[in-house]
Structure 1
Amino acid sequence: MALTIPTAYFSRCSASKETTTSSSSSPPRLVPRFWPWEKVKMGALSVSPMGFGTWSWGNQFLWGYREKMDGDLQATFNLAVDNGINLFDTADSYGTGKLNGQSEKLLGKFMREKRVRNDIVVATKFASYPWRLTPGQLVKACESSLDRMEIEKIGIGQLHWSTANYAPFQEKALWDGLVAMYDKGLVQAVGVSNYGPKQLLKIHDYLQSRGVPLCSAQVQFSLLSIGDDQLEIKNICDSLGIRLISYSPLGLGILTGKYTSSKLPSGPRALLFSQILPGLEPLLKALSEIAKKRGKTIPQVAINWCICKGTIPIPGMKSVKQAEENLALYILLFLFIISFSFSLFILIIIHNPIFFITVILLSALILAFLLWNVLNWRKQGAILIFLNSFPDSDLRLARDGQLVKITGPASCGIVALESSYEKVQRCVYTSTSVYEYKRFHLKPAMVNHGCFRWSLAYSESFSTDFYVTDTKTSTTVMVKAGNGAKVTPLIRENTLVNTKGKAKVLSPYLRKWLGEKNLSADPCLLRLDERYVKERSYVTVIGILRKSKDVIMIVEPPEVMSIGCLWKRFLLPVDINGLILRVPESSTLLA
């Protein structure tokens, strides 16, 4: 999600039992629940009415983290601090592989560089790993977190989850670990995360008997997640003086207002949203009306609702976009490993091969499903299905901002392109790719090598603004494909050079062209493909319609589109980035 600064809590909360408390000595508060400079009490601590979560920092598998993102994360952190945020939630398990603990490292680094180390309340969670069986091991985990962040004391030390359902013997040791780190002065307060109502009462009573106050309880809480458990936990927190921290206050992005049944996010969220969004139209409409009336955004209204319920929301400080490419495969791989290990255990211990064979067969089906999707992704099959199923638009009736599809002959605008290798002139789109024939260990292959693959060595693509005369309405439309616009081309590539299978000396022209592109001109196995859209070719374009008095334009969509799941063809969602430009293979040039 985009960063939402604390103007989310500038709006006035409604005077209800949940949001205000009135008595004979204290009249109802009719101003905003919190002013930007005000803090709320969390035990002995004072924190901002809204915090931020840092799960994505360091997580490569789910969130696509790369170290080059650190500059943007630092800027986002600085913006949040400058706008009054002083609560940041992290965990010792945030970060994958060699980046384990990276979230805490970055948070410590950002605090030092911003010089606000003493002003920030860090709420970090300690994972209930199976090997953390003693209080001392949890204390050691706390000390490791302190070292990673290079701070002397943690604001709130939290247990990440309860083990009561699968390892009840471990639970009390973890509770004693919280007591020990509090008594040693390593944390200012203690809290829990993902605890149910029963366990929340138990740990509160136990800590109270040890003289340690339970400061906070973190659960999923939003307009979409206010079930019986959440309401019971909220009531328990209110009665015991525990502050409720609400994560996922925007419901994975559903409550941002960016998505509708016809405009779904990319990746695995598309299927979930397609099932949920139709029933949420009244809620989203109400949020939109409130946001418009208050001069706020829909996310600000949704977050403000959590604040007015007396909770502290902690929306993430990074978009979920990077997760979507890898999330589905990551989950499938994890489930396969678990099921395979369990079935192998049954085969060895119980000598029952039926379950093992069943898992193997299911795994084969899953593998075939994934390979089918990879093959269709390479051939852009899903995008072609989307394009063919999308109806041709009537530009006379289409509204400004609508996604439209038109077909007609293309003509160059002010700038015309020339293809790089063939030197074909008067083009509106060109691309050239060079592939090297390599072995699987990525060394250059010889002619007689049997194990090989084509590896992309060089690629370039160019597009420019051009015109299309729509055959349906005879309207001439400018397609804004230049100036860095993103284009998804559905154009057949022409293989111009292919030295595979024969020891061929490269031609002087090819050697010269490779030299101009700073590519090696040594004799090797290579393939050169080129595709282009010439003037007067029939093209199909899908994009966003923009109307003005002087010109009608089609521009790229403002964000990535997703075609959703095509279950009848066993296809997962595919992202479409930018304009769709297609030239049918049977396309001919106008005379």
Structure 2
Amino acid sequence: MTTRELGRTGVRISPIGLGSAQFSGGGAGTFWPALPQSQVDAIVKAALDGGITWFDSAEMYGKGASERSLSAALTRAGTEPGGVTVSTKWSPFGRTARSVERTIGERIANLAPFPVDLHQIHAPYGSLSSIRTQVRAMAHLVEAGKIRSVGVSNFSARQMETAHQELARHGIPLASNQVQISLLHRKIETNGVLETARRLGVTLIAYVPLRSGMLTGKLHADRALVAQLPRQRRLLTGISDKSLDRTTPLIEELRAIADAHGATVGQVALAWLITYYGDTVVATPGASKPYHAEEAAGAMKITLSDEETRRLAELSTEVSR
């Protein structure tokens, strides 16, 4: 299985990882129902069997519930500490940077016996401290040997520069910036984030890479499924009959390519994401069922042609106007 370097850290990860917000015990808003641990175990096992070697969590996913559930599943699958890469995030909301160091013990305990390979600042807003102060606190954790690398999430190009500069004072590279990227969300190409990431050697981690299900084609094929989605999810992701109509040409092209490769629509959408931007972009789709993780892992085995990649990019631009 081909791996990619996480920024310039020396940490190697699979191009597709597994996001674990769904393991939050129903605590991450109303997006996901609570999953029994047995189902989480099956999801993580399917990911591992498919070649996924990297798992992403966060403090605010169920106030640590996702971290604990992920650790338990990895342990039950027979995974040894160091055998996979594990990342998590510190929540800045209403806190000062002091809590970065105060709460690391909880992150370590929740994920034990797996080390924190990547610790990220979950957002560039909400904290009572400056970005530089937050990043400095993260650097202290690296220097203390409590985490392996530092990343950020939802940072702009300028904010990435600030984080990079502060970490450089400690001789530490900025590993990553976790932002929304998909065939239906390509703002990194115009807001400076992609250019800055490439210049600084920072990996961009794409979250909601399937646009909350819109890029699987299932909602287009059966619109009755839309009404079954939680209202908050529909509102925040813009899933509606109008958006489904607008994106149908892209889904039809994805389906044609998927048929040619013996793959699913979602797999081709993920394969495009980790192909079009080169090694700069990796993705963390979530999974609430084992076959979701199996499909995500299978995307790493798809090799799109230059023509297929270009055509999807063109259609993506057209339907996003």
**Band of TM-score, shorter chain:** 0.7 to 0.9
1:66 aligns with 34
Of 115, 127, 135, the match for 1:153: 115
Cα distance 1:152–1:114, how it changes in 2: closer, same or farther (>3 A)?
A: closer
- Residues in 2 aligned to 1:215 and 1:53: alpha-carbon distance in whole angstroms: 17
Take 2:97 and 2:129, find their aligned partners in 1: how far apart are those partners? 9
> Deviation per CA, 1:372-397, whole angstroms, max 9, x where unpaired?
xxxxxxxxxxxxxxxxxxxxxxxxxx
Q: Judging changes above 3 Å, is the alpha-carbon distance between structure 1 residues 246 and 198 closer, same or farther for their aligned structure 2 residues?
A: same
Q: If each structure's helix is expressed as a fraction of its own residues, which one has the higher value?
A: 2
Q: Displacement of 1:131 after TM fit?
A: 2.7
- Which residue in 1 is equivalent to 2:66? 103
The CA distance in 2 between the partners of 1:75 and 1:112, in whole Å, is: 12
| TM-score with structure 2 setting the length | 0.80
Measured in 2, the distance between the counterparts of 1:152 and 1:220 equals 27
Q: Is the Cα–Cα contact under 8 Å of residues 152 and 186 in structure 1 kept in the other structure? A: no
Relative distance call for 1:262 and 1:64 in structure 2 (3 A) is closer
**Superposition pairs for residues 158-307 of structure 1, below 5 Å?**
158-163=120-125, 169-227=129-187, 232-260=192-220, 263-264=223-224, 265-266=226-227, 267=229, 268=231, 269=234, 272-307=239-274
Partner of 1:482: none
| Residues 116 and 148, structure 2, Cα contact 8 Å, conserved in 1 | yes
Partners in 2 of 1:306 and 1:55 — Cα distance? 21
Higher strand content, 1 or 2: 1
Cα RMSD (Å) of the superposition? Answer: 2.1
Question: What displacement does 1:230 show?
Answer: 6.2
Taking a change above 3 Å as real, the CA distance of residues 107 and 230 of structure 1, as seen in their structure-2 partners, is: farther
Distance 1:204 1:65, change over 3 A: same
Contact (CA 8 Å) 1:222, 1:249: kept in 2 or not?
yes
Distance 2:264 2:214 in 1: 14
| The one of 89, 100, 119 aligned to 2:56 | 89
2:92 alignment partner, one of 128, 133, 138 = 128
User: Cα distance, 1:227 vs. partner?
Assistant: 2.1
CA displacement, residues 314-360 of structure 1 (integer Å, 9 cap, x when unaligned): 100226xxxxxxxxxxxxxxxxxxxxxxxxxxxxxxxxxxxxxxxxx
**Which residue identity lines up with residue 72 of structure 2 in the other structure?**
K
What is the CA–CA distance in structure 2 between the aligned matches of 1:71 and 1:228, rounded to whole Å? 37
Q: How does 1:361-510 map to 2 (within 5 A)?
A: none
Q: Deviations for 1:236-278, whole angstroms, at most 9, x for unmatched residues?
A: 1111111111011111111101122872412332873212111
CA distance in 2, matches of 1:121, 1:111: 11
Q: Which of 109, 114, 127 in structure 1 is aligned with 2:77?
A: 114
Look at both structures and tell me which one has the larger radius of gyration over its CA atoms.
1
Alignment check: 8 A CA contact 1:219 1:230 kept: no
Q: Could you tell me how far apart the structure 1 residues matched to 2:178 and 2:129 are?
A: 23
Partner of 2:318: none
Q: Residue 53 of structure 1 aligns with which residue? A: 19
Structure 2 residue aligned with 1:437: none
Inter-CA distance 190–228: structure 2 relative to 1 (3 Å threshold)? closer
Distance in 2, Cα, partners of 1:214 & 1:55? 23
Q: TM-score, normalised by structure 1?
A: 0.44
| Greater mean alpha carbon deviation, residues 154-163 or residues 263-272 | 263-272
In structure 2, stretches of 5+ residues that fail to align are 290-321
Look up the equivalent residue of 2:202 and give its one-letter code. Answer: I
SS at match of 1:154: coil
State the secondary structure of the residue aligned to 1:272. Answer: coil
AA matched with 1:193: S
Query: Take 2:110 and 2:190, find their aligned partners in 1: how far apart are those partners?
Result: 33
**Which amino acid in structure 2 is aligned with residue 234 of structure 1?**
L
Structure-2 separation of matches of 1:247 and 1:230: 18
Q: Distance in 1 between matches of 2:259 and 2:136?
A: 50
When residues 246 and 64 of structure 1 are mapped into structure 2, their CA distance, relative to the original with a 3 A threshold, is closer
Give the letter aligned to residue 76 of structure 1. I
Q: Quick one: distance in 2 between partners of 1:287 and 1:178?
A: 41
- The one-letter amino acid of 2:117's match is G
Judging changes above 3 Å, is the alpha-carbon distance between structure 1 residues 307 and 228 closer, same or farther for their aligned structure 2 residues? closer
Cα 1:259–1:199 change in 2 (3 A) is same
Give unpaired runs (5+ residues) of structure 1: 1-36, 320-591
Displacement of 1:171: 2.5
How big is the shift at 1:66?
3.5
Work out whether 1:144 is the aligned partner of 2:112: no
Q: State the shift of 1:129 in Å.
A: 2.8
Displacement after TM superposition at 1:64 (Å): 4.8
Whole-Å separation in 2 of the counterparts to 1:64 and 1:252: 11
Tell me the number of residue pairs that the alignment of Structure 1 and Structure 2 aligns: 274
2:60–2:91 Cα contact (<8 Å) kept: yes
Q: Residue 90 of structure 2 contacts residue 122 of structure 2 at CA under 8 Å; is this kept in 1? A: yes
2:317 aligns to what?
Answer: none
Letter in 1 for 2:13: V
Read off the aligned partner of 2:197 and give its amino acid letter: C
Change (3 A) 1:272 1:82: closer
SS at match of 1:312: strand
Which structure is higher in RCO with an 8 Å CA cutoff and minimum separation 6?
2
Percent identical: 26
- Structure 1 stretches (4+) deviating beyond 4 angstroms? 228-231
Shift of 1:172: 2.6
Is this contact kept in 1: 2:95–2:127, CA < 8 A? no
TM superposition shift of 1:174: 1.1
Q: Distance in 1 between matches of 2:198 and 2:4?
A: 14
Instruction: Kindly indicate whether the alpha-carbon contact (under 8 Å) linking 2:214 and 2:239 is maintained by their aligned counterparts in 1.
Output: no
